[in-house]
Each structure stands twice: as C-alpha cells, then as structure tokens.
Amino acid sequence: MDALLLSRIQFAWVVAFHILLPAFTVGLACYVATLEVRYWIGKDEKIRRLSAFWIKIFAISFGMGVVSGIVMPFQFGTNWSRFIDAASNVVGSLLAYEVVTAFYLEAAFLGVLLFGRKLVPQWAHALSAVAVAAGTVLSSFWILAVNSWMHTPDGFEIVDGRFMPTSMLDIIFTPSFPYRLTHTVSAFLITTAFVILAVGASYLRHGRSPEESRIMVRMSLLFLTLMVPVQVLLGDLHGLNTLEHQPAKVAAMEGLWETERGVAASLFAIPDEEAERNHYEIAIPKLASLYLTHDIDGEVKGLKEWPREDRPPVAIVYFAFRIMVGIAFLMLFTVIAGLVLWRRGRLYDTRWYLRWCSWMGASGFIAVLAGWTTTEVGRQPWVVYGVMRTADAVTPSLTTMDVAVSLTSYVVAYIVIFGGGFILLRRLVRIGVQPAAESEDRESPPEETAHRPKRPLSAVVESQLGGRKA
C-alpha cells in the first residue's frame, strides 16, 4: 500500500458512490418531465399524483448527488495535483462550462419544480421539470466530455509539460465522445426505468395504488422495449470505437493474450497475468471476432502486443465486462417476458413476473458500476491515455498516512450519508403514492398558512406523518 494505490482506491470509492446518483436522477428527471407534460395536456389526476410521488424521491436523490459531486473534484487538488496542473487548461474549461450551463439551469428551475405546484400555472411547472431534466443531461454532456478526452485525447499540444488547447471543438468532440455519451446516458435512463418498473411491480404485488402502479409498469416497460435493444446497439458501436482507439482494453475485456484471427468468445476463465494465459476457460469459437470486428475471421490484438507495464489489470476488466453483459441479457429477458404477458393480458397479475421485476430494480446500478469499472480500469496505467501515466499524476507530497486518513474519513462519511439517504428513500417508497383525497388535502393548505414558504423537503416530512396516520 502506497499513496498512489490508496489515492486510486479513494477516487474509485467516491466516484462509485457518486455515479449511482446521476444514474438515477438523470432518468428520473426525464420521467418526471414526461409526467408533468402529460398532466398539463391531459389533466389526469393519477398522473399528477404519480409525479408528486417521484418528485419527492428525486429531491432526496438530487441532494445526495450534489453533495457527493462537490466532494469529488476536490481530489484533483488534494490527490492528483500533477494531473490537474498539467491538464487544467483543458479540464477546467469543460468543468466551468458544466457550471454555467447545467448548474445554472437546474438552480433556476429546481425550486419551481419542488415547491411551485400551487404557485405557478401548470405549463410553467411542466416547463420547470423539462428544464431540470435538460440540466441533468447537460451535466452528463460536460462530464463525459472530460472523461472522453482522458480516454481519447485530442485538440491539444504539450507546452512546458502542460496540455494547451489548440481546438476546443476537438477537445469536446473527441473520437470516443459520441459513443460514450449515448451509451452512458441511455444506461442512466434504463437504470431509472428498471427502478420505476420495480416499484410499480412491488405495489401491484401488495395491492397498493393499483391505477398508478399500472401506469408505472406500462410506461417503464414500453420505454425499456425501445431502449434495451438500442443500448445493445450503442454498446456494439462503442466496442468498435474502443477496439480502434484502445485495443489493449478490448484485449483485457476478452482475456485475449495472443493476437489471433477468428477469436473465440470467452464465456468464463480465470486470467493469469503472470503466466499470460487463462485457466478453466469456456469459449465459443470465432464469436468474439464476429462481435468485435463484424468479421468472423477478423483479427484482434492480444495483450502480449504491449509491454507488461502498459497493460490494464486483466482480471478486473475481464469480470466487470461479463457482469455488465450478463445483466444486459437479464434485462432483455425482462422485456421479452413482459411483452408476452402483456399480450396475453396477464402483465399486472402474474406473481412470478412482478417479483422478478422487483428483483431487477437494482440491476441498472450494478450494470453501470460494472461498465464504469470496465472503462476506467481498462484505461490504466494511463490517466490521459497514451500521454500521461496515473503514477505521474499523483500529488508528490502525499504520504501513505495522509491518504489512509482521508480514505477512512470518506468511507465512514459516505456510509453514514448514503445509508441515511437510502433509509429515507426506502421510507418514501413504503409510504407510496398518496390517495386522491389525501393528496388534495395536503396540497391545499389553510388560508392562514398558504402564504408562507415551505421548508426544504417539507413534502417528505408531511408524507411521513401522513403514513403514520394511515
């Protein structure tokens, strides 16, 4: 254990927790915006109650995402000062663009969305939901622009050891950026859709809010029917791009050591980096060449093409990739089974399928973490691919004890913060969608208090109190 390894573990810990929030809030903001527009057009009270329910959950999730998102960039200065010193002219600009576009947009309209139901016309409330959703997508745009530049750097020259921009368009729109953006954002949307599907299915199993639950199940299943196949296609295109620009990562994903044609698809193996071979391998002949190169006899470079010090950690990348792909197949099964049951008129009362959907609620988060691990660990040992090594990016004055203390603090703080947030979210889900009469009473305060502004998250407290009365 040294300062470099502990800094990498710390960054992985913080980012892994943070990415769970955008993976949920980006999709949830889009879902709330859809509900608000539907209510504006159709004036369906079931849609309004459903939107009010998910807005409360969005408020908690968004708050945790902001807190963890603020903490994360501080590590650039504390743990990775040599990286930020060299790349600040590139990275700093893109992060500033996120602030003046996404953050400003969210800040301007979030209050209207959370507390303006009775204070603004419905068209303005729907507009605020759309603006917040656009802000979350814009935030993803700029963060993924930074990340893509680190994977496929372009549009710069090195002057006195620093990355100096020569074209901001080339810096933003790097060769991997379109594939990384579409693949990641669609993964976020799918993650949220599976959460909504799980909540709706769980309510149907327990006979709660049947009308609203059917809407949740129906909307999420229709969306997943479109997006899961699209995500598979986007993943294929992203894989082709990765093979072109980061072939060592692809070799690690496949556990491929020798350069071959007609490469077999490894279903399971135990990679041995010392012996440069796989143990107990189960593989399908020539399949990997087919999906990697779209040619059954296509050539794929093996890990032995690169020196040992330039190879990513093979086992981590290999197994993370298989977890991601395995979950994708489970998602496809969920969609196909749901469509079959829907056609037979059994979608809302088939117990085993509703229970399965409840279990699949966390599948998107696991897939996002597995995909992030595949991407980021597969980039190693580079922090800026092919240009700057991770070992050269760490703060030179750091000691092992420094990082051990900060890592321990992060672990304890995140367990408390995210544990508390999870308990609160779980409580909101258990309270559920408010019944029609109760919802109307809650949103029509007495005249003597109607003029007073509500406290932040007052809707959560009111829901908890209402749940106790019920």
What percent of the chain is modeled with pLDDT above 90? 53
Average pLDDT over residues 16-36: 90
Handedness of CA 272, 277, 279, 283 (dihedral sign): positive
Domain ranges of the chain: 3-174+399-469
Q: Which residues of 100-113 are buried (b: 16+ CB within 10 A; e: fewer)?
A: ebbbebbeebbebb
Q: What is the pLDDT, as a whole number, of residue 3?
A: 86
Closest CA to 55 of 70, 41, 68, 39: 39
Q: Is the pLDDT of residue 110 over 70?
A: yes
Residue 454's pLDDT band, with cuts at 50, 70 and 90, is low
User: Which residue's structure tokens are 């408010």?
Assistant: 434
Least reliable range by pLDDT among 14-23, 227-236, 254-263: 14-23
Q: What is the pLDDT, as a whole number, of residue 447?
A: 43
* 280-307: pLDDT as tens digits: 989 999 898 998 888 898 899 999 999 9
Average pLDDT over residues 102-125: 89
User: How many angstroms separate the CA atoms of 67 and 65, rounded?
Assistant: 6
The amino acid sitting at 290 is L
User: How many angstroms separate the CA atoms of 237 and 241, rounded?
Assistant: 6
User: How many angstroms separate the CA atoms of 128 and 150, rounded?
Assistant: 34
Residue 457's pLDDT band, with cuts at 50, 70 and 90, is low
* 151-194: pLDDT as tens digits: 999 999 999 889 999 999 999 999 999 999 999 999 999 999 99
Least reliable range by pLDDT among 244-258, 363-377, 443-457: 443-457
Would you say 262 and 295 are in contact if contact means Cβ atoms under 8 Å apart? no
**φ, ψ of residue 268 in degrees (nearest 5):** -155, 140
User: How many angstroms separate the CA atoms of 15 and 28, rounded?
Assistant: 20
User: How many angstroms separate the CA atoms of 322 and 154, rounded?
Assistant: 30
Average pLDDT over residues 251-256: 92
Closest CA to 181 of 244, 254, 241: 241
- How high does pLDDT run on average in the chain? 87
Cis-peptide, bond into residue 381, ω within 30° of zero = yes
Least reliable range by pLDDT among 65-69, 173-177, 184-188, 342-346: 65-69
pLDDT greater at residue 452 or residue 215: 215
* 398-450: pLDDT as tens digits: 888 988 998 898 888 888 888 888 898 889 888 888 776 554 444 444 444 44
User: How many angstroms separate the CA atoms of 69 and 435, rounded?
Assistant: 35
What percent of the chain is modeled with pLDDT above 70? 93
Q: Is the pLDDT of residue 344 over 70?
A: yes
Orientation of helix 314-343 relative to helix 177-205, angle to 10°? 50
Q: Is the pLDDT of residue 467 over 50?
A: no
Residue 468's pLDDT band, with cuts at 50, 70 and 90, is very low
Average pLDDT over residues 14-22: 85
pTM value surpassing 0.85: yes
Would you say 83 and 146 are in contact if contact means Cβ atoms under 8 Å apart? no
pLDDT greater at residue 90 or residue 455: 90
